[in-house]
Every structure is written in C-alpha cells, then in structure tokens.
Chains A and B, each alone.
Chain A
C-alpha cells in the first residue's frame, strides 16, 4: 500500500517534468516562439491576443505556468494549418492510434510469447536458433521500411489489401474497414514480437535451470504443471516488458501512421512537422508522452500486485 502511494506520488514530478520539456520545445526551436504559434497571415489583433493569452511578454517560468493552466483546462491552442482546436483534433485521432497500437501489441505479444516459449523450452537446439534469429530480425527491422514492403507485397503486387487510409466506417468488423487495419497492425506487431520473444526465452531458460524446477521434475510433475510454474514466475517481468512495448507503440506510431496515412496522432504529428505547425506538434507530443508515463505507472502497479516482492527503486 505504501509502495503504491509512493509510486503514484512519484509520477507527479515526472509528469510535470515532461510538461516542462514539452513547453520548452517551442522555445528551443530556432525563431520567434510567437511566430511559430501563429499562421503566417495572422492579423496584428490575433498576435496581440495570443501574446496576452499566453503571457509571452512575461518571464519564462510564468509563461510555463500560464501554459500549464491552459493545458489543464484542455486548451492546447489552435493548429496553424487547419485553424481548429488542437485538443479536438488530437482526441479524434487518439482513438485511431489506440486501435492499431493495441492491435499490434496484442498480436505481437501472442506471437512473441509463442516464439519465446518454443525457443526457451527447446533451448540450444536447431529450433531455438531459428526462433532466436527470427526474433533478432524482428527487433532490427525498421518498421517504416517494413510498412512499405508490406504495402508493396499486399497492396501493389497481390492487391489484397488497401495501401493507405482508414476504412469508411472507421473501426468495425466489416471487411472493408478491417482490411485497412490489417497492414498497420501487422507491421506494428513485429518489434514487440521480437522483444517479447527474447524476454520470454531468457526467462524460460533461466527458470528451467533453477533448482526448484528440477525438484518439481524430480517429483514427477507433468510438463504441463511445470509450464504453469514457469509461466507464473516469468509473468511479472514479461508483463513489464509488454507494458513498455505498448507504450513504445503509442509513442512511435508516427512512422507507421505516416506510411499508411492512418489518421492517428502520429499522422497529425508528421504533418505538423512538414508544415511547422508548432501548436499541433507540441500538443501531440505532450499527449503521447503523458500517456506513456501513465501507462508505465499502471504497469508498475500491476506488477507489484502480481508479485509483491518487486519493490523498484523510487
């Protein structure tokens, strides 16, 4: 209980520091921060309004607090390119990112666990070497390139799946919509699969060598029973890695979404970069970063619930 409280409280300074960094992004960029927050054809009135709203003539720490206040109320400014509220655009987009991120994560976990178990239980055999090589390839692959390759194979050559975009119904179980989801999810699943596979393999090998497993085998426990013990012991650390990977998928969505023109937060970020749309860029980064922090917190707490022995530093 104490640990939970401490862990939750510790998240607060981290989250605040994240906001500080996001705030400072606009200021480390070359150029006048004021110009970056406004479209090129802004009227002098609009400039003055923005200046007042964000207190841009006041010292930096004050500006930060003002900005933080607006953020806390859900106001992330207006996008330079579309003119619409950044917060609105982001909240519409986050759902789409969530779909492919969670889809990719789940697929990656399933495949990774399978691969890792096979490799670990058949450690140092030919099967293991194949599985490990597959895993290394999976973690090394640049997913933006993989996205292009997938597009080439399935959309260009075979013409089974659409190359870009989201289905007309968004997310539903119709083939029309699902066909758009397949490629992004498949692409995103590779890296988590590789990492989970390696983690699981490592854990399995470690556990199988441990004395208590030897004891169980000596007592005649059937392989299924031993597997259950292995899974129970490996679960906490594997879960931690899974949570982290899910976070990375959210945070790293930009590259894959760009290739597939998938209208998620990453796609918005990518466009924001091209058009130097700072409010949008800042907003998107803030959202994804805070999401990552919260996700880490949940994973840590879940881990402690499952395995109370874990008391990480801090």
Chain B
C-alpha cells in the first residue's frame, strides 16, 4: 500500500480513514411474501455491514451473485438510501446535520459501472457524457469539454477519434475506459468500482486493470473494488472483504485472506478456482448446494446450510466478526487486522472447534 500524496482536499489527516461504514443495512420489501394482505417479506440485501477504507488503500469486495456487493456499492455513494447505519467520509458523517450532504459526497466519491449498454447514454457523444458531470457543478461548457478531452487521453483513448463518437461505436474495453474517465471527471478521491472488468475479454481486462493501477498512483486515489473474480481482486487490492448473503464473513489483508483463509466459505471459494494444471483435478465441488434465499433469512449463520462444519450453535447464534491480532490474541473490536465471522474462530463460542481457526 503506497502512502497517499499530500492532498489539499484532505480534511481528516493521514490517519483518518477515507471511508468508514458502520452497521449498514438495506432491506428491500418483497411483494406478496407471507400471506395476502398481511406480513411483508424483506430481502436482506445488506445486513449489518461494517468496514473501513484507509486513504490510498484499495479494498476489494468479493462474493457470489446476490451477496449484496452491488447494493453495497450504491449505498456507499448514496444512490440507494440505506435503511440503517452510518457512512463517514473523511471524518464527516454523510447525511447528518453536522456532516456532509450526499451531493457534497458525490464531489469526492464516484463510481465506475459494469460495462453494459446501459452504462453510457446511447444518445450522447462521449464528449457530452464526460462533460456532463463538471457542467452540473457549474463548469462552463468549453472548460468541461477541454477536461473531457484531457480525460480521454488519461485513460488511453485518442480524443481526436473518440470524443465525437457514440457509445455503440466503441468496443467494450473502450467503453469501460470511458466509464473510468467519467468517474474521474469530477476529480474524486474515492472511486467505487462495481465489476468494472467482468464483461471484458481477458486481454482487454488486463489492460484496463493496468490502467486502474496506473491512475491510482498518478492521482492518489482510494479504491473500493467489487468483483466476483478472485484473481482480479487479488491483483489489485490491499485488503479484501468476503461477503455472503448480505453479511461480511471475512475481512483482512489480501495475502492473509487468500493465503490463510479462515472462514469455510472463503476456503470453499478459493478452492473452487480451477487450477491450470490438469493433474490437479478435483472430483467433488468444494461448495455444494445452493445459497438459501435472502428473503427473511433464518437466524444464525447464513452459511449454515452449506457448511461442512455446521453445528447446533451455528443455526441459532449469528456469528460476529472476530479479529485476530498479529500477536495471536482475539478481539471483537475492529482494528484492521484479519476478521472472521465464524463460531470456529471465536474462542468464546460453544462450537466444538471454537478458537481453532
């Protein structure tokens, strides 16, 4: 992790995390759940998620489809209003009377969307799309267009050829570069990326990832990188957070999580990656069964239905994140080290293997 360069917009100082998320919750009401006219059902998209992102750091978020990572990304930028929990950006609470408004947040935090036909307005030229953001914040059109052209250069596209184009005239990789340029057009400090390379061919993916690394260094950016692709996350992140059905199951430095995965789900995910060596074939899938429905989930650990180590306590008590310090002691307080939400990691739980992980 490289230390961030001195930034004039920095308000909280070097030690202040760029972003702190506390107990974020988002439940979506589901129609026609329980009975007719009675009992609303809720889909627990994000359920009590807490984490922090230090300045200049890249935190990766991994999980399978439906684990809530996309919702989480949008909550961080207040594109979806959270039901509960706090967001603290550079020391100031978002949405609180003594903090910053969502609009102010959006001057410093931006998002890169997954490439799809829907991420760029097909009726606007690239130049217009890029100039839109700055103009909204009061920049004159001429200046905004100049910045747009500069941004195109920054992301590796030739403005002379591409500025007047429409999205359907660009390839997937080029569109994604435009997405990145758009996110940078407001000069943010935090960039949230929701599956930015998932829709790209492998070769193009590599180019775009390299671009992201380069930009991070040049512009002193902090990244929140969401993906289902473990290898990609490993490449770009300093720390990684594993999500399952709306909850965080493991969080820590990327080498710790990938090398010494503690949670059974994380282990299963890592083991599911296909090895390049045909001699290393495995017959039984590491993770079997389907994830349960996120609608009105049962109490206890969400992974209980698929965990090979499941016991009685797992179905009753919801495990909290337990942090392993460098010196081997455990703690329920967060301080940036390796955290696991499993009864086996909690020495105080009644699991037969408590404290063994």
Note whether A and B contact each other (Cβ less than 8 A).
yes
- B-binding residues in A (CB < 8 A): 2, 5
Can you list 3 residue pairs at the A/B interface with Cβ under 8 Å?
Answer: A2-B32, A2-B36, A5-B36
Task: Please give, as numbers and ranges, the residues of chain B lying within 8 Å of A2 by CB-CB distance.
Answer: 32, 36
CB distance from B247 to the nearest CB of A (A): 31
Instruction: Bin the interface of chain B by size.
Output: under 10
CB distance from A123 to the nearest CB of B (A): 25
Q: Residue of B at shortest CB range from A3?
A: B32
Whole-angstrom distance between the alpha carbons of A5 and B32 in the complex?
Answer: 12
Task: Please give, as numbers and ranges, the residues of chain B lying within 8 Å of A5 by CB-CB distance.
Answer: 36
CB distance from A6 to the nearest CB of B (A): 8
Whole-angstrom distance between the alpha carbons of A2 and B36 in the complex?
Answer: 8
Whole-angstrom distance between the alpha carbons of A29 and B36 in the complex?
Answer: 43
Task: Please give, as numbers and ranges, the residues of chain A lying within 8 Å of B36 by CB-CB distance.
Answer: 2, 5
Q: Residue of B at shortest CB range from A1?
A: B36
CB distance from B38 to the nearest CB of A (A): 13
Q: Residue of A at shortest CB range from B36?
A: A2
Task: Please give, as numbers and ranges, the residues of chain A lying within 8 Å of B32 by CB-CB distance.
Answer: 2
Task: Give 3 closest A-B pairs by Cβ, nearest first.
Answer: A2-B32, A2-B36, A5-B36
Number of A-B contacts (CB under 8 A): 3
Whole-angstrom distance between the alpha carbons of A2 and B38 in the complex?
Answer: 13
Overall SS of chain B's interface: loop
Whole-angstrom distance between the alpha carbons of A5 and B35 in the complex?
Answer: 13
Q: Residue of A at shortest CB range from B35?
A: A2
CB distance from A308 to the nearest CB of B (A): 14
User: B3-37 CB contact bits vs A (8 Å, 1 = yes)?
Assistant: 00000000000000000000000000000100010
Whole-angstrom distance between the alpha carbons of A5 and B37 in the complex?
Answer: 12
Whole-angstrom distance between the alpha carbons of A167 and B32 in the complex?
Answer: 54
Q: Residue of A at shortest CB range from B32?
A: A2
Whole-angstrom distance between the alpha carbons of A5 and B36 in the complex?
Answer: 10
User: B33-62 CB contact bits vs A (8 Å, 1 = yes)?
Assistant: 000100000000000000000000000000
Whole-angstrom distance between the alpha carbons of A2 and B32 in the complex?
Answer: 8
CB distance from A158 to the nearest CB of B (A): 57
CB distance from B32 to the nearest CB of A (A): 6
CB distance from B41 to the nearest CB of A (A): 13
User: B199-237 CB contact bits vs A (8 Å, 1 = yes)?
Assistant: 000000000000000000000000000000000000000
CB distance from B157 to the nearest CB of A (A): 34
Whole-angstrom distance between the alpha carbons of A62 and B204 in the complex?
Answer: 72
CB distance from A314 to the nearest CB of B (A): 12
CB distance from B346 to the nearest CB of A (A): 43
Q: Residue of B at shortest CB range from A5?
A: B36
CB distance from B30 to the nearest CB of A (A): 13
CB distance from A255 to the nearest CB of B (A): 42
Whole-angstrom distance between the alpha carbons of A142 and B36 in the complex?
Answer: 47
Whole-angstrom distance between the alpha carbons of A217 and B21 in the complex?
Answer: 55
Per the 8 Å Cβ criterion, residues 102-152 of B in contact with A are none
CB distance from A253 to the nearest CB of B (A): 39
Whole-angstrom distance between the alpha carbons of A293 and B32 in the complex?
Answer: 25
CB distance from A304 to the nearest CB of B (A): 14
Per the 8 Å Cβ criterion, residues 169-227 of B in contact with A are none
CB distance from A27 to the nearest CB of B (A): 36
Whole-angstrom distance between the alpha carbons of A129 and B353 in the complex?
Answer: 76
CB distance from A184 to the nearest CB of B (A): 45
Whole-angstrom distance between the alpha carbons of A2 and B31 in the complex?
Answer: 11
Whole-angstrom distance between the alpha carbons of A301 and B36 in the complex?
Answer: 19
CB distance from B347 to the nearest CB of A (A): 49
Whole-angstrom distance between the alpha carbons of A301 and B32 in the complex?
Answer: 18
User: B266-308 CB contact bits vs A (8 Å, 1 = yes)?
Assistant: 0000000000000000000000000000000000000000000
Whole-angstrom distance between the alpha carbons of A2 and B34 in the complex?
Answer: 12
Whole-angstrom distance between the alpha carbons of A218 and B32 in the complex?
Answer: 41
CB distance from B210 to the nearest CB of A (A): 37
